[in-house]
Chains A and B, each alone.
Chain A
Amino acid sequence: MLPSKVEEMLRLALVAELTVIDASGRPITYPLIPLYDGRIIYMTSSVLFSEKLRHIKGNPKVSVALTDPTAIPSEPFHRATIQGDAVVVDDDLHSGWERLLPLWRAKEPVIDKFLKQRFGIPLFFERAVIEISPRKVFLFEEDSPESPKVFELAQTS
């Protein structure tokens, strides 16, 4: 289980920074919408922007940082980083990701409008799901922004 403060941030966050590691060992960060079902952190990626998927397939170790007060309307505002192991689910790129629509819709209601017009940008809606099982959390609380509390988590898989 994630600390409740972090769960709340994940539920509110419009954007988080997913960091993956490329083949050369370099970290690469992508701003994405984080979705959370109480156990797993989900992100989706269009095949158009599939570099991150390749990197995760090569090295499943990732982190998700919650850093932007504009994108996370929680009071008081804290920051958090979740390290975990990611799996790319791409066996049904056309509609497999649609199971996450209820979580996605809650953060970006306009997605339904885009989806009705998916014929206009069909490849954007061919998407893989990134499932992240959290293993460690760094919580940067408002009163000590430089020194995080660290939580080691039991594996969810």
Chain B
Amino acid sequence: MRAREAVKRSQDYPHAVLSYVGSDGYPVSFATHFKADIEHSSFEVGPLSAEMLPSPGQQVNLTFSHIRPVQGIGYDERRYINVYGPAAVSDDRLTVRAETATGWDEKETPFFEYCERNVGRGLKYFEDVGSRPRLAAGWLFFIATRLPFLTATIIPVLLGAAVAASHGFFSWGLLGLTLLGGSALHLGLNVANDVFDDMSGADPTNVTPTPFSGGSRVIQYQLLSRRSMAMMSALFYAVGIAVGIYLAETRGSELYILGVAGILVSVAYTAPPFRLVNRGLGEAAVGLGFGPITTLGSYFVMAKEFSGEALFASLPVAIFIALVLYMNEVPDKPADSAVGKRTLVVRWSEEGVVRAFSVAAATAYLIVALGVTLRILPIYTLGMLVTIPMARSIVRDLNEHFDHPYELMPAMQRNIGLHLFAGMLLVVGYVLEILI
């Protein structure tokens, strides 16, 4: 912070805390009145009693601090300014020339970003004391794999199975195996994505990560090494591929085509030389993988054949999961742009990004309405339209908080919920079709 700016901002505070080093070597600090002189970038401080005056010319620190107590919570509105400079003594007053200044205002730099900007300092401290950051194994697995995003796999698997069940094909055992294989491949992709984003610099550069964007951060926080993450990813892929081979051998070799397509899309999504996500094709890849490919695969496991209806039913799910990625790229825009990760959000203007979100969400609802009108989808799937207000609120918040990652977080969470609820309502629509 510039000293003059600090002097200007100090006027918002009711008092200053003057600090200097006393003759016994201990800091002396106490509250005092002050008057800011913006023109001369200085302060008049006092009145002070004779025993509380610093020596003429002594370096002093003026601190201006504010919080707002919140009953039952603690406090918020944290901000402070530190100004340093020499003090000239005149009678019972000081004139402090502001030479340097530092400070933090959580309204300008949100707490999470403030923390993220200091990660390097934290890791250096660990190094100095010969220790390492730790996290309980369960939590480490939870964040390293980004486990909550597994709904992206669970929804299309359930949808494919529900469509198959409405056609008279269903097995709980096969559903369990499909979920296991699909989930393993998905977690493998999540972890691989962190490895490649660490290698490319996209995640280390990002100082505004959120729980929904910017990767899991376990590599940047030195909670796990890049090598450990790569091995974890390989293990998940191995489990997913093994389950896939078993299903293909027992249910039909057509699954190899879907399986290979799924793995190729997931690897090409983030890995060189394709890096689909860097080319603005990330949404298409994610939509394809967690929409038609997974839904059709799940359907085939049950029915041993493909289904146009399953393909059609997967389209809204594909759009909503693509929109999850799309919105999660918004806070990453500066970091992605800096490392040449040319996502759609990087390529388009803010207005264009919001408009495209609206169009895509509206298209998903139109597909369902059209599917029911053309008798492709059961009438009960129209229940999915109850999520329209949720989609509208997300668009509104995206528009309002586009440049404020932490204020956008609730909408990002709601966007993941939109995929989950809309997808589950499609599944429920099929279950009702079977039961009624």
B257 interface contact, C-beta 8 A: no
Q: A25 — which chain B residues lie within 8 A by C-beta?
A: 21, 59
Q: B74–A108 contact, CB under 8 A?
A: yes
Residue-wise interface mask of B (180-210) relative to A, using a CB-CB cutoff of 8 A (1 in contact, 0 not): 0000000000000000000000000000000
Bound together, the chains give a CA A65 to CA B118 distance in angstroms of: 26
Chain A positions 86-133 with a Cβ under 8 Å from a chain B Cβ? 90, 93-94, 107-111, 118-124, 126
**B221 contact from A29, A108, A123, A148, Cβ within 8 A:** A123
Q: How large is the interface on A (under 10, 10 to 19, 20 to 34, 35 or more residues)?
A: 35 or more
Across chains A and B, which 5 residue pairs bring their CB atoms closest together, nearest first? A108-B74, A67-B31, A47-B122, A19-B27, A48-B118
Q: How large is the interface on B (under 10, 10 to 19, 20 to 34, 35 or more residues)?
A: 35 or more
Q: B140 — which chain A residues lie within 8 A by C-beta?
A: 119
A11 interface contact, C-beta 8 A: no
Bound together, the chains give a CA A48 to CA B82 distance in angstroms of: 19
SS class of chain B's interface: helix, strand, loop or mixed?
Answer: mixed
Give the interface segment out of B126-134, B234-242, B268-276, B288-296: B126-134
Q: B122–A121 contact, CB under 8 A?
A: no
Binding site for B on A (CB under 8 A): 14-15, 17, 19-21, 25-29, 31, 46-51, 53-54, 61-63, 65, 67-68, 70-71, 73, 79, 81, 83, 90, 93-94, 107-111, 118-124, 126, 135-136, 138, 140, 146-148
Q: Contacts A119-B143, A147-B49 known; A19 to B29 CB distance under 8 Å?
A: yes
Q: A48 — which chain B residues lie within 8 A by C-beta?
A: 115, 118-119, 121-122
B125 interface contact, C-beta 8 A: yes
Q: B63–A119 contact, CB under 8 A?
A: no
Q: B126–A47 contact, CB under 8 A?
A: yes
Q: Contacts A15-B67, A71-B67, A93-B126 known; A136 to B26 CB distance under 8 Å?
A: yes
Q: Contacts A14-B69, A123-B115, A123-B133 known; A27 to B29 CB distance under 8 Å?
A: yes
Q: A123 — which chain B residues lie within 8 A by C-beta?
A: 115, 119, 122-123, 133, 221
